[in-house]
Chain A
């Protein structure tokens, strides 16, 4: 057992951090927050997207012999944590997941129509076939659903629809970095696949969303701590007041708790997905594992725990960051609200905290 990132993994995170510093600086994020029109997106957002593409983000876990980077979900989690720390907006995770559909060894053969997927396109994944709210409508080429009609994770399907055919009306978004449009008519979905593939993508989506949320939480924490050291009231830095110090300490506590849960579930994903490729035998062991309470890995429980705790961390830290900034935190030009609104806008993705808490209670009760 070792839950500490290696030097290679940290170097990967550094390279993502460098891209974020160049392309997703606070200044650029505010330009997008003020106007996320297709023109501005092309000028400000696309170069950053391309830099991430070049870094191999969208084929990070694809085998090297298939042109990928050949890393695992632990690396992916570290990368998404860094993206969260920098509030990188847009359909990054959805597009990453679609990359798995077309390139991944494990999902090989899950869908016939892999021509629908290539690196020049972007994708958004919505919660259900009844969803009408679509994030990043002007950026994405297609929308997908990872659906499980019985609201159990079994028996899931993947649906697909090109955005060009949709009648969309844009809305005033909760998060200025997540433009949203409503589909005026019921979306005409095309079914791409049944079963396991959707289930698998949901799990990956859940863990990587939790990783991103943890990053958001830590980004907000860092900003709050910097401010608390520098802003003075009553002739002393506000960080010297216990009321402020304790908010920051509570933020850090949630960040660390969430991060640990995220790393454990990322390891779990690696084990379940890579160590059991094509092997029915190990799949059965995986099933048995979930019945043994002291096994090292119980992926479903672990990823639920990660999603619940990371969501909590992101919202608490976003709000704490606003609070520590006082009046400054209530302004549009400052960064704190960007963390919080982003946290709110992704909280329901791949199962809300309510959904995952309920399933944790149910697996315990059964």
Chain B
């Protein structure tokens, strides 16, 4: 065990910092979540900048446009970009954080060559078509059908809660290729979102923005070469997707939470200056949150070290996701209490321009639902890590 950074890692950090100091002053503010076209433009422009400067896909293979560096350097990248308030991955989320990594782990050479570079260069946006109206927690009961017809799969059915469905170019799509099997009848397809027969309807979320969609498929023809992994072995591929989605995808949000806690402490101090004292109870709560975030950061480093061995994060991702969600909620709860009457309103006009702690409290409701609910994470921990009977 060693928590010190190597010479090359330190050098990487220094170079990154000076690059960020140079480019960040020119970056404008995000146009906000309601203007989807402008937001896509904004999010991908930043990705393009990273790509051109040699900072896209820090730990992705060089031959597909990545930097070929270690997960530790990727962690340093996330730490410094978040600390300095660089734009968030935003619409690049699925491509960069779980679809791309899944293709690296399970895709063919042709698929890697075709799909990975445009993710890194900010050219393509991805979405995730896993959940269905009747297959959420019980994802493996999904019923969107695909039958093979010559060199295409013909897809019929419906997905729901598809984040970025309205702006994505590609979808990581789970379909049923064998109706007689449950887990063993699922395939993982790459679905271009511009195919005919796809109908996308945005859903308004409780934050007030339209961040996810219903997606309907009617006789959509997807080329057979878009199958990732074997036919009917898509559940295994989906497990790989989940390990990235639950394990590493939240790292930059986790780092962001550190700074939100700092902001909260500042706010508490300001209010205390007005009233004369900083309530001891509040002080202690802030300290406890800090303890939890520091420990979670340690856990992330540990998970990253373990993943470095296998290339894929382990079920420890469920542990991280479960606890991080709880702690972030507690932090935002405390924020509402500290703000008092000022918590009655949100800054900005919509969710994306509104990054204040009040909006964050609303948003945190997703942390115990999206990417598998907290109840399901506990089942996974109980059954897969602890080996308790089903």
Contacts and interface: CB of A to CB of B under 8 A. Distances in A.
B341 A133 contact: yes
Contacts of B342: 133
How many chain B residues sit at the interface, stated as a range, is 35 or more
A332 B160 CA distance: 15
Interface in A223-274: 232-235, 238, 241, 243-244
A340 B363 CA distance: 13
Contacts of A347: 336-337
Interface in B345-361: 345-350, 354, 358, 361
A352 B337 contact: yes
Contacts of B203: 331, 333
Interface string A125-166: 011000101010000000000000000000000000000000
Contact of B161 (A135, A234, A327): A327
A127 B341 contact: yes
A340 B138 CA distance: 26
The CB with the most chain A CB atoms within 10 A, among B279, B337, B341, is that of: B341
B306 interface: no
B369 A133 contact: no
A167 B364 CA distance: 34
Contacts of A354: 279, 281-282, 337
A332 B208 contact: yes
B205 A344 contact: no
Contact of B369 (A182, A329, A332): A329
B74 interface: no
B109 to A, nearest CB: 36
A203 interface: no
B35 interface: no
Interface stretch (A42-50, A65-73, A82-90, A170-178): A170-178
Contacts of A172: 208, 345-350, 354
A127 B345 contact: no
A243 B375 contact: yes
Contact of B204 (A133, A232, A234, A333): A333
Contacts of B346: 171-174
How many chain A residues sit at the interface, stated as a range, is 35 or more
A233 B138 contact: yes
Nearest to B281: A354
B236 to A, nearest CB: 20
Contacts of B136: 233, 326-327
B206 A182 contact: no
Given A344-B336, A352-B337, A326 B369 contact: yes
Nearest to B208: A332
A208 B366 CA distance: 32
A322 interface: yes
Given A234-B138, A241-B375, 14 more contacts: A172-B208, A173-B345, A174-B343, A233-B137, A243-B375, A326-B136, A327-B370, A329-B206, A329-B369, A332-B204, A332-B208, A344-B343, A345-B344, A352-B340
23 contacts: A126-B341, A133-B342, A133-B344, A133-B345, A172-B348, A174-B343, A174-B344, A178-B344, A235-B138, A243-B378, A244-B375, A322-B365, A323-B365, A323-B373, A326-B136, A326-B137, A330-B365, A330-B366, A331-B205, A337-B206, A344-B361, A352-B340, A354-B337
